[in-house]
Structure 1
Amino acid sequence: MEACTGTQSSQDLPAAWQHDKALGDCMIKLYENKLWTDVKFKCKDHGDYERIHAHKIVLAARSPVFQAMFFGQCTEEKEDILLDSIEAETFDLFLRYTYMDKVTLTEDLAASVLETAHYYQVTNLVQLCADFLASCVRHDNVCGILSLAQRYEVSSLCKVCCIFIDENADEVMESEGFLELSENVLSFILKGDTFYADETNIFKKAEEWAEKKLKESQIENNGQNMRKILGPTFYNLRLPSMSLDEFLKCTRRKGYFSMEEYEDIVDFINRTPDTTVNSNSCISRLPNVETIYCSDEQNTEVASDTMQTSFYVTIHRDVKLKAVELAEIFPFLEYDNILYSNINNRSVYFNSSDSVQYALSQYTNQVIELVSSHRLCKLEKQIGQDLPEGVEIIITGSLKLSCKKEKIETVAVDDDDVDNGNNDEDDDSGNDDDDGKIYQVFQQDLRLASMDKAERKITLEQPVILEKSRSPYIFTLDLKNEYSRSVKMKTGLSSEKTFTSYYDVFEVEDIEGEFRGVRSLCFENISNRDEC
């Protein structure tokens, strides 16, 4: 839509134009038709006679900045208000929202509208623009959007960008926007433990970024200047997590380190005891999410009305439990009386009395059927049968998480407060005072249909932070069939007793139940970045 730059009289409108219109529709009519306006704005791209007309009282009602401008103690009457940094199309969209509480954004203008809304403190519009930009995030624009979110401290948009960047690290590093990042935003990205990419590639892109900045500043390109211009970002390059060969290829004869720093990193890579590295972070990067699979759905248990499983979750590095996926549960009809069947059993043939005696001796204390005078067959006990596909049962229950160590702090844990596993010494505080109490950390009640695959993926109402200092945790799953007593539940068991994270973040160990009913656990690794 074109900005409202001309003037119009109310006589040009039809009589009773307000009838059957909502408040917002009437307000935007005032703006679009310049009715009874009392303030004009000249934007940076306006010609000599172009202006946007508006109403002081409306603007002051929506913005504390306009309130102070028009009705404050230091109000200064001006014929035109000059907006040297805002273009007319942007300001028009801003005013349309101010009048109507809604606006149609475009990807090209959403960022500038957000900046304008932030300046005039129209917070709802800031969030609207942030939500729109979050839906537009791509490899080629996420760096610019994150920079915007950081500049104006829009935490929701910052979080969306971080998740996207972490999950698409290699593609993002190849974008033009990555080399245009400020040092603060670059450092923020690389600080993330979940910025998951090969450390050699990260180091090379950081070098490329530094070389570009040195060239722009006309500073000599050498190791010390590269390190200086990278600032805190240099620490966030996880050089000690490389192999020795990779480290030497990346840094040899470049002058990044003193001799002592170089030796410390080499010793750390070679796992020399009591080695401390101060120049760079030693924390290995992790994927944003790791899923561990427990039960084998091909290995099903005896049918029952209820099922319970419990296991330890030992944490080596603070992590969030995000979701639990239940194994497929099969309805099973239990017979009132025990039956026997020869289905899938091989017959035994004989042709003499001696062979009959031998055959019978092979089935001592077992039920057999004499099919004919020359053939017999072993019978298998049948207590019930699997019900056909399409038959479902309603299952209720709960999943619980508990531990034996009481949480001292009751405040929420931020990413920068978590234990990243860098300290090899276990925190045994509280062990000596173990009084046998179990402290519940989390509980979520369940109700699902056995045939609904989507319901079996249980996303926790809020991800639960599992802290290394409170480990181990006890996970308990209780399920109950609400169907008739004749219909039982069957599900998968695990032949393994222990499952370990590929990245050594956590370990789960069976207590009882052989992981029955639990197909997988989904953990979210913690980025360790500061909040926006």
Structure 2
Amino acid sequence: MAYFYQVPALVNLCSQYLQSIAREDNVCEILDLALQYDNVGLRQAACDYIDQNATIIIETDSFVHVSKLCLEYILKADTFHVDEKTILRRAIEWAKLYQGNDSLNMDEDIRFNITVKHFRNTIGNAFQYIRLGAMSFAEFSECAGSTLDAEEIKDILLFTNICSTDEFHQNRLPKKKILELKNGISSWTAHSFSRSSESMYKITVKKNLICEGIKFSKLSLSATWGNPGYGEPNLDFSVNITIEITRTGLNFSFKTAMQALSLHTIKFESPVNLKASKDPYTLVVKIEFQPNPLNITINANQAGVGSATVEHAEVEWNNQFSILHQIHFSNMSNRELKDKERKCGDERLI
């Protein structure tokens, strides 16, 4: 009704409510609604939930009851991190149901022997997002041998052989990944004439990624008075932190108590897109003290020099003082990217 009467405020309330009740057994239905009504916010929230709980959701009853469009949208994501054997098995179950064979309510022995006719045509565009190349022949045979007839299997294998590698993305990826920097010891002393320090990290990205945030190192403090005789130094003071990543426009600043910075996690207000490039991005973390008469030494449990890698990203640093413990990345689902690719492909066919 909210869409019918075009009441944006009511549409937003409905979207927020559906997001609040999302569970493993209903989130596929919520995604179906989001696609039907082209609600971008609800669609993204449902996709994030599905990707984060993929191994559970694929086995739910609601998964095999989604529309053909929704099935395609779920499977196309590089971040739908389920083994391909399970995906093929559940796609076949979906096709059985779509063809009117309610095999889910049958005995196991009977369900095992039901065949699916024209499987590739039945699931439509979703078929190209099943990464058959990630499966062994034995795994494919176990899933398809008893449910697809010989002609259908032959058709699938021939179709796969003539497809370009661009049409089949072989590997799915976990939604989130954490890069941990090498442990060690680095330190910096802030004197009255030197009240700020920068830690710099070169990030080389081999596949489009999102940088979501960082985690600071475990820090320990000590301080002495610039002039002796003032008694025990007070370590309860604040610092200004600025975080920048070149070529992204990120300039994130905050103020915090120095002692609260140890092992503190920062999530950026907006995810930072890092595009694959041979030229590294530079992540700069600047720490600045307000003027005071203390000489402050900060020790970090991170090596001043080193490198670390996660899949598709490498970080190198050479700092006197290295303040970061982790950099948080996430993989792009590429669902929207593939939509654009398909539109371009459709235009070429016209």
TM-score bracket for the superposition, by shorter chain length? 0.7 to 0.9
The 2-side partners of 1:188 and 1:263 are apart by 20
2:213 is the counterpart of 1:320: no
Which residue does the alignment assign to 1:132?
Answer: 17
Which residue does the alignment assign to 2:345?
Answer: none
Give the alignment partner of residue 239 of structure 2, picking from 392, 395, 409: 395
Mapped contact 1:295–1:520 kept (Cα < 8 A) = no
The 2-side partners of 1:136 and 1:261 are apart by 43
Letter in 1 for 2:287: L
Pairing of 1:302-381 with structure 2 (within 5 A)? 302-304=188-190, 305-334=195-224
Mapped contact 1:392–1:449 kept (Cα < 8 A) = yes
Mapped contact 2:2–2:8 kept (Cα < 8 A) = yes
The 2-side partners of 1:207 and 1:495 are apart by 53
Which residue does the alignment assign to 1:231?
Answer: 124
Mapped contact 1:301–1:493 kept (Cα < 8 A) = no
Q: 1:228 to 1:397 in 2, by over 3 A?
A: same
Which residue does the alignment assign to 2:60?
Answer: 175
Which residue does the alignment assign to 1:282?
Answer: 169
Q: Give the percent of matched residue pairs that are identical in Structure 1 and Structure 2.
A: 25
Return the offset for 1:123: 2.1
Q: 1:498 to 1:290 in 2, by over 3 A?
A: same
The 1-side partners of 2:156 and 2:74 are apart by 29
Q: What is the SS of the residue equivalent to 1:212?
A: helix
The 1-side partners of 2:240 and 2:121 are apart by 60
Return the offset for 1:259: 8.4
The 2-side partners of 1:492 and 1:387 are apart by 23
2:292 is the counterpart of 1:292: no
Q: What is the SS of the residue equivalent to 1:491?
A: strand
Deviations 1:248-274 (A, max 9, x none): 544568433448748849xxxxxxxxx
How high is the TM-score relative to the length of structure 2? 0.79
Q: 1:519 to 1:483 in 2, by over 3 A?
A: farther
Which residue does the alignment assign to 1:27?
Answer: none
Mapped contact 2:226–2:295 kept (Cα < 8 A) = no
The 2-side partners of 1:243 and 1:514 are apart by 49
Q: What is the SS of the residue equivalent to 2:45?
A: helix
Mapped contact 1:264–1:277 kept (Cα < 8 A) = no
Q: 1:142 to 1:120 in 2, by over 3 A?
A: same
Return the offset for 1:323: 0.7
Return the offset for 1:307: 2.7
2:278 is the counterpart of 1:474: no
Return the offset for 1:205: 0.8
Return the offset for 1:464: 1.2
How high is the TM-score relative to the length of structure 1? 0.54
Which residue does the alignment assign to 1:449?
Answer: 257
Which residue does the alignment assign to 1:82?
Answer: none
Give the alignment partner of residue 153 of structure 2, picking from 236, 239, 256: 256
Q: Which has the higher strand share?
A: 2
The 1-side partners of 2:331 and 2:275 are apart by 12
Q: What is the SS of the residue equivalent to 1:230?
A: helix
Q: Which has the higher helix share?
A: 2
The 2-side partners of 1:485 and 1:492 are apart by 26
Letter in 1 for 2:276: K
Return the offset for 1:277: 4.0
The 1-side partners of 2:6 and 2:206 are apart by 44
The 1-side partners of 2:141 and 2:293 are apart by 68
Return the offset for 1:118: 1.2
Mapped contact 2:197–2:288 kept (Cα < 8 A) = yes
Mapped contact 1:195–1:287 kept (Cα < 8 A) = yes
Deviations 1:167-213 (A, max 9, x none): 00111112111111011101001111111112211111111111221
The 2-side partners of 1:462 and 1:133 are apart by 23
Give the alignment partner of residue 209 of structure 1, picking from 78, 94, 101: 94
Q: 1:311 to 1:460 in 2, by over 3 A?
A: same
Letter in 2 for 1:232: N
Letter in 1 for 2:312: V
CA-based RMSD of the aligned residues comes to 3.3
Which residue does the alignment assign to 1:509?
Answer: 316
Q: 1:257 to 1:334 in 2, by over 3 A?
A: farther
Q: 1:480 to 1:289 in 2, by over 3 A?
A: same
Pairing of 1:234-245 with structure 2 (within 5 A)? 234-243=127-136, 245=138
Q: 1:228 to 1:329 in 2, by over 3 A?
A: same
Q: What is the SS of the residue equivalent to 1:256?
A: helix
The 1-side partners of 2:263 and 2:6 are apart by 42
Return the offset for 1:470: 6.6
Structure number with larger C-alpha Rg:
1
Mapped contact 1:169–1:195 kept (Cα < 8 A) = yes
Structure 2: gaps of 5 or more residues: 103-112, 340-350
The 1-side partners of 2:233 and 2:141 are apart by 63
Letter in 2 for 1:401: I
Give the alignment partner of residue 246 of structure 1, picking from 139, 145, 158: 139
2:299 is the counterpart of 1:490: yes
**Structure 1 runs (4+) greater than 6 angstroms displaced:** none
Deviations 1:308-336 (A, max 9, x none): 22121111110111111222333311365
Q: 1:214 to 1:490 in 2, by over 3 A?
A: same
Which residue does the alignment assign to 2:343?
Answer: none
The 2-side partners of 1:307 and 1:243 are apart by 52
